[in-house]
Structure 1
Amino acid sequence: MEHRPELTARRKDGTEFPAQIGLSTVGDGSEVLFTAVIIDISERKRAGEKIRHQALMLEGVTDILVSTDLDGMIQSWNKPAERAFGYSADEAIGRQVNEVVRSEYVKGSKEEADSEIREKGFWSGEVKAYHRDGNYLLTIASVSMILDGKGNPMGFLMMYHDISDRKKAEEKIHQQLQHLTALRRIDQAIAGSLDVHLVLDIALSQVITELNVDAAAVFLFDSVSMYLNFEIGKGFHATAYQALPLRIGEGYAGKAALERRIIQVQDLRSRTTDVLRSPTFAREGFQTYLGIPLIAKGEIKGVLEIFDRTQLQTDEEWLDFMEILAGQIAIAIDSTTLFKNLQKSNINLIHAYDATIEGWSRALDLRDKETEGHTQRVAELTIRLARAMDIGEDEIIHIRRGALLHDIGKMGVPDQILLKPGKLADTEWEIMRKHPTLAHDMLAPISYLQRALDIPYCHHERWDGNGYPRGLKEGQIPLAARLFAIVDVFDALTSDRPYRPAWSREQAIDHISDGAGKDFDPQIVELFLRMMDNPGNYTSQLLKY
C-alpha cells in the first residue's frame, strides 16, 4: 500500500519547501519495513499558482473556464463552470477533471482530441457539456496547453462557449426548410391533379409528418345536404376509418364548421359523443383532438381533424403552420371545382412562402449577431439597383428571394470557422468557400426557388474570373449575381465587424469604383455609383449609407 501526502519539508540549510512523500511497506511477514521517497514539488506548486492566477484574470468572462495541471488536477473553476457542470469551485478544485467534467464529443472522440493536443498544443470542436443532473449545453470547446516562461508545458486551459441558442436557430431554419418543402409538395399536387382524394392523401401525409401527430382526416362539406361527409383518413389503426356523416353543428367537426373556429380537446377519452363511444374509435387510444375549419374564399369547404395519442403540446408557431396547411387543403378542395381561379387562390400561399423565406433569413442573422440586419439591407438595395436597370418585376421577385437566401450555405460551415474573430487559416478558407456550393445543393431540389439560385450560388464570382466556386468571368456570371456582388461588398464595408470598424460611405464607394472591371461588372458599377448619388433611391432602412 502506498500513500502520497503533501507536507512542508526542511532542507539542511533550514529553508522550507513543499514536498510530497511516498510511503510504502515492505516485508516478508516476520517484520515490516517502511520506505519513504520525498519529492520536491515546488515547481508544480508554482505552476499551479500561475494557472490559478491566469484563470482568475479571466474570471469575468461569460464562457466556461477550467484549468488543470499536467496531471489533470483542477486548478481553477469559474462561475459559468459552476452553473454548467453543477459543482462549486470548492467541490471541483483539487479533483481530477474527469471526475467532474462530463462531456460528449459531437464529432470525433476524446482520443482524437488528446492526440491533436499532444501534436499541436490545441484542439477545438463541438461538445455536449453535461450538468451533474444530466442536462447538457451544446458548446464549442477548446483545449490549449499552458506554457511557462521557458515554453515548457505546465497545464491545460479548457474553454466552453455555449452555442445552444445558435443551434436552436439552426434547427428552426431546418424546420422552416421542411415546412417550405411540404407546402411546395401540396402546391404541386394541387396544380397537377383535379382528383381531390389524391391531393388530400398527399396533404394528410404532410400534416402528419410536419405537425408530428398520429392521425388526420378530412370531412367535405356538402352545401346541398348541409352535411359533413368523411372523405379520407390516415394514421388510424383501423384499415378503413369511416366516420358517420355529421350535420353542421353536430360533434366537434360540425361545431368547428358552424363556428368557423378551431376546436381543441386535450382529454378526448373523457368525452362522450356517438363517434367517441364506438368500439372502433375507442381502440385508437387518442387523447388529443383538433378540428380545423377549411375555408376558401369565405366559404366552408370541410373540416380537417387531427388526432394524437398523447397530450399534444402546441405553441403559436405550430398552430400557425397548422393553419397554413389547413388553408392549402381548403384551396385543394376548392380547386377541384374552380380550377381556373387557382392562381388567384394561391396568392396567399405565395405570401406564406415569402414570409417563411423572410423568417428563414432572420434566423440566419440570429446565428451571427455581427451581421444582424445585413440580409434585409442588401435585399432592399439589390431590388433598387435591379429596378434602375429596368429589370422586370417578375424577375425582381426571384432576385429578392435570392438576396434573402444568399448566405444560406453558411448553415454548413462550422461555428468555430464562421464565428472566428481572427483571420481564417487556409484550410478554414477552403471550408468557408464551399458555402455557395452548399447553398446550391440545399436549394436546387426546391423547384419554387430554382430561379432564385443565381445569387446564393454565384455572388462570390468575380468579373476577371478570380472568384469562386466556379471561376466564372464577365458575362458567364448571371446578371442577378453581378448586381448583388456590388451591394453585398458595399454593405459589408459600411458595417462594423469584429476585426474592423465600418468604413465611411465615401471609402466604400471608392473601393467599389476601384474594383470595376476587376471584381465587378463596370457598367453596373457606373449605374450603382449614379444611384448612390441620388438620395431618392433610399428607404428609411437604407439611410445608414
Structure 2
Amino acid sequence: MADSFAHDLLLNTTRFLLTRHDPDALCRDGLAFLAAELGANLGMLHLRESAVTYRMHASVGAHPLLHVHDVQTMEPGWEELMQAGTWISSPVPSPDWFGPADRSYVRLGAQHLVSFGLYSGPQMIGTVNLLFPEPREDLAGLEVLGTVGGLWGTLLARMQAQRELAGREAMLRMVTDQGSDLLSIIDEQGTITYQSAASGELIGYPAEVLIGRPYDGAVHHADLPCVRAALAQLRREPGGTVNLSFRIRHARGQLVWMEANARNLLHEAHVRGIVIHMRDVSAAQATQRHLERRVQDLTLMHDTVQQLQLGRTAAQVAERLVNLIQNRLAYPYVQVGRVLPDLSVDTVAREATSRDEPVRRLPPGAGVIGACVQTGRTVYVPDVTADPRYVARHAEVRSEVIIPVRVSGQLWGVLNVESPHPDAFDPADIQSLETVAAQAGSVLANVELLDDLRRSRDELRAAYDETLAGWARALDLRDRETEGHSQRVTDLTVELARRLGVPETDLVHIWRGALLHDIGKVGIPDAILHKPGPLTDDEWRVMQLHPQMAFDVLEPVAFLHPALDIPYAHHEHWNGRGYPRGLKGHAIPFAARIFSVVDVWDALRSDRPYRAAWSEERASAHLEAQAGQQFDPQVVRAFLDLLRERRAATPESA
C-alpha cells in the first residue's frame, strides 16, 4: 500500500482518537472510523478480561454469528506473535489457524483479516480485528497499524485510570461529607456493606463481624418499628435524608443511645447504598452537663476545621493543632508526632516554648507514646510518676493522654497532651481531644489526597511531555538530514525566550511548540521530504502545507493550544512574505518570531546533502542581513548577543 495512504491513515486515525474523551467512545468510535477507512464490513474490539481471555467491548457491522466471538481466548503463542508495534494481515482461513472450527472467521463470511493489539507500555490490553468479504492483498503494507495500536492502547489506559480515579474521589467525597464517628452503608435489602473502624469502639462489634449482616440486628426491640419505617420511607426518596435517634445493644450488654443521619445514595453508582452516620449520645441523654459540654465540643470542632483547613502541609496542620489545643483548652504541653514505618515516632510540631530544643525521635515501643502506637488506642496516665513507661519531657508534668491520629483509617501519628496536675483529664476531656484528633485526621487526609492528585497531575504532564519528545525524535529520525535538530532548537529557543523576558510559566508552552514545530511534516511524502536537491515549484507548494498540517493535528488537543504559535507560524516573515498566512511584523506571535531565528541558525550551521554547514560568522551575517526582512530585529539582536556571551564563556570551543 502506498506510503502516502499509510501516512494519511496514521495522521487521520491519530487525530480522530485524540478527539475522543471517554473509554467507551474511544473504543466504539475508533473501531468504526478505522473500519470505514480500510473498508472492513465487520470489526471487533476486545479488551483483556483475564490472563488468557478478552471480551468484546465494541463491534462494527452485523452478522448472526458475531456473538460467538463475544469472548476471545488467546491461543498459545498468539500473544507472543502480536507484540507491541506489530500487526497481522492474513487471508481467511489462515494457514496458521489451528483453533476450533466454530471460531473460524470463515463462518462470518470473511476472506481477509487485519489484526493488531492495543498496548499500554509492554502490556497488551486489547485487540482489534477487521474482517473483509473479499481478498485484500493491498493491505500488506500497513505497518502504521502497530503504531496506531500503541497510541490507542496508551490513550485507553489513561482514560480508564482517570475514570477509576474519579470513582474513588466520588466515594471519598460521599464518605467525607458524613463526618467521622460511626459510619455504615447498607444496601437495598438492608445488609451492611461497609462499617467504619469506630464500630468496635462505639458498640463493641468489630466492623468485619457486622459486614454482610442485617443493619437492625443490634437495634433495641422497642426502637425497631420507627427505625424500619424511617429507612423504608428513605428508600423511596433518592438523595433524601432523615435524622433519628435509637438505642443499640452494646456487645457488653449496655444500651447505647445513637444519633443518626441517613442519606439515600442508592442511585450513586460508586456508593449504591444508604449511608448512615451515627454518633453516641448516651451521655447527652443522661445529664445537662453533657449538653453544655457538647456545645463546647461543637464549637471546638468548628474552630478545629476552620483553623486546620488553613494548613497546606502536614507540618502546618500539626502546628495549628498544637496552637488550637493550647489556646482553646489551656493545656500547656502539646506535641504531635508522626509514626514512621519502623513504628518510631518523630516530632512534627510542639508547644512554642519547646521549639528551640533539639528534636528527639522516640524509638519503637518506647514510653506511653509507644504503647499508644502499638495498640492504636488512646492511652491515659492519671499519674506519670507511677507509670514506669513514661518518658519525661518536662519535670512538672503529672498526667498525660496520648491519642492516635488516623488518616483514611490508618495510624498516621499521635497527639500527646500533658498537664502539670494529676488526673487532669476526665472522660469528656479525652472525648474532646479524640474529636479534635479525628478532625485533624480528616484534614490530613485531604492534604495527602491533594498531594496525590498533584503527583498524579505532574506524572500525567510528564507523560505528555515525554510523548511530545518522542514525537520530535521520531520526526528527526524520519527526516534524517535534521537528526537532533528538534532538541537543539528547543533548548536554544527556551534560553533565548527567557533572555527576552518571556515569563517562566509560558516557557513550557514554548518548549512544547519548539519540539513539535515540524509535526506537520508527517503529512509530507518522503519523496519530497528526502529529496537531495532543490524542490520544484509544485513540490515547494506541498512542503509549505506542513504548518497548516501541524495546526490541524495539534488543535484538537486542548492542552497543546498554548503551544500552537510555533508550529503554525514559524515560517511567517517579518515583512509579510512568509507562509501559511502571510502575517507581518507584530502580528506574528512572539514565540514564533523567537523560534524562527533559532530554527534558521541551526539549519545554516548543519550539513545538508546539497551544501556544507556554514561557519558561525557567515550564519551570523545572514541573520543580521535578514533582520527587518525575514526576522524581528529585536530578536536577532538578542540572539547574536546570546551567541557572543556563549563564546566568551567557553573560548576554547569557539
TM-score (norm 2): 0.42
